[in-house]
Amino acid sequence: MQALRRSEPLIGTLTRAQAVQAIQTQTVPTGDNQQEECMLAQGPNVAAPGADGGTLNQLIWGFTRSQAVYVTAKLGIVDVLSDGAQTPRAIAERVGADERALRRLLRALTTIDILVEDRHERFAATPTGELLRSNHPQSVRAFAICMGAPLVWRPWGELCGGIQTGTPAFDDVYGESFFAYLGRRPEQAALFDAAMTSISSGNLPAILAAYDFSGLTKIIDIGGGRGTLLQGILEQYPQASGVLFDLLPVVTEAHPIKASSVAARCSFVGGDMFRAVPPDGDAYILKSILHDWSDAEALQILRNCRQVIAEQGKLLVVELLLAPSNQPDFTKWLDLNMLVLLSGRERSEAEFRELYAIAGFRLTRIIPLGARAIIEGVPI
């Protein structure tokens, strides 16, 4: 028997009986039994034929990884490592954390390809972990923060209620709908808009490579957020002018595009897309908009576009498409995210075709962009 050191794992290498005894006596015996470790740390062994207890276990513990990645992003741990490996003490000082608690987080992160520890107990980011650095060109830091923050995390904790009632868990948790809530909380809105911007920056090259905007003269981005996509398009197509349309507080904060070289060709309009959208565009882009809303609401937005779109105009909806069941399909998880946060849903190609037809558009092309697609339509 040796005395318990609180910083050591309590049950990692013990039999169940030893662990119980250890907990009772606050000591750790020097036993070693990996199988029992699994039982204790991971729950009962599933022996049914064809059952994959290991995978199920990973799923059960999935939330721990998710929250660990969030904390890494929020504290800016990878930013601190941009000059190379650092000790837990140095990292703790820079990010403002308890050194011993942080060390436990850091070593856990070495098991999921975020960090590596060297022989001198210093931690560095892996190439995957690097994506959590603020200034990485493909940074997902803002997105990781948004997903793990109470804004999204708390409603996900109420998924069960949402499944039982069919209403957004967000509304139950926060007492109002998602965008109404953001409208009165600039800090939370900034968190969300930054997350959307980080995704839009990532999608931009694929959209520019997949779609030829050269025939278009007035491109209107409905719910265009801070304008990352519109700016990218206008930079590439000097013949085009643009309109960034979103809720007024969002458009007000669209600083990078307003300060960019395309600002002179762009107008910035705050408004409510359920009332009306800016007129006379020959392209209406709706990226990650329709999936926020129910069919009735999505139809209202599409009808408002239909009323004002130029005769030869193009409707360009950018969304993920639902695949049939029984195959890997991330869209089904985003669909649940819509259920938790909003009244929206992800849709299949057939469902988009039907929505378009009801709103007065014909679906002309599906242009794949990796995970997403441009769903092109024309007015009929």
Determine the residue type at 18. Q
- Specify the residue, 86 or 198, whose C-beta has the smaller distance to ligand SAH: 198
Q: Any catalytic annotation for residue 291?
A: yes
For residue 218, what are the β-bridge partners? 241
Structure tokens at 265: 């060709």
230 binds ligand SAH (CB under 6 A): no
First to last CA, the chain: 81
Closest approach, Cβ 342 to ligand SAH, in A, equals 9
Query: By CB under 6 A, what part of segment 180-219 binds ligand SAH?
Result: 196, 199-200
Among 37, 171, 246, 335, binds ligand SAH (CB under 6 A): 246
**Stretches 40-48, 244-252, 306-314, 368-376: which one binds ligand SAH (CB under 6 A)?**
244-252
| Residue at shortest CB range from ligand SAH | 223
223 binds ligand SAH (CB under 6 A): yes
Closest approach, Cβ 253 to ligand SAH, in A, equals 10
Determine the residue type at 63. F
CB 288 within 8 A of CB 298: no
Query: By CB under 6 A, what part of segment 253-272 binds ligand SAH?
Result: 272
> What is the largest distance, in Å, between two alpha-carbon atoms of the chain?
83
Give the list of residues 6+ apart from residue 358 with CB closer than 8 angstroms, or none. 299
Binding mask 278-307 for ligand SAH (x = CB under 6 A): ---------xxx--x---------------
171 binds ligand SAH (CB under 6 A): no
19 binds ligand SAH (CB under 6 A): no
**Stretches 49-57, 135-143, 246-254, 344-352: which one binds ligand SAH (CB under 6 A)?**
246-254
Provide the sign of the torsion angle of the four alpha carbons 89, 93, 98, 102, taken in this order.
negative
DSSP summary character for residue 2: E
Residue 266 Cα distances to 26, 198, 252, angstroms: 67, 21, 14
Residue 15 Cα distances to 6, 10, 204, 264, 266, angstroms: 19, 11, 53, 70, 67
Closest approach, Cβ 181 to ligand SAH, in A, equals 12
Among 76, 88, 224, 313, binds ligand SAH (CB under 6 A): 224
Query: Angle at which helices 53-60 and 62-75 pack, to 10 degrees?
Result: 40
145 binds ligand SAH (CB under 6 A): no
Among 110, 157, 179, 297, binds ligand SAH (CB under 6 A): 179
Closest approach, Cβ 341 to ligand SAH, in A, equals 11
By CB under 6 A, the count of residues binding ligand SAH is 17
231 binds ligand SAH (CB under 6 A): no
CB 115 within 8 A of CB 126: yes
The half-sphere exposure of 242 on its side-chain side, counting CA atoms within 13 A, is 28
Pairing of strands 283-287, 314-320: parallel
Whole-number Å distance between alpha carbons of 91 and 69: 16
- Specify the residue, 274 or 330, whose C-beta has the smaller distance to ligand SAH: 274
- Residues within the interface to ligand SAH (CB under 6 A): 179, 196, 199-200, 223-225, 246-247, 250, 272-274, 287-289, 292
Tell me the catalytic residues. 291
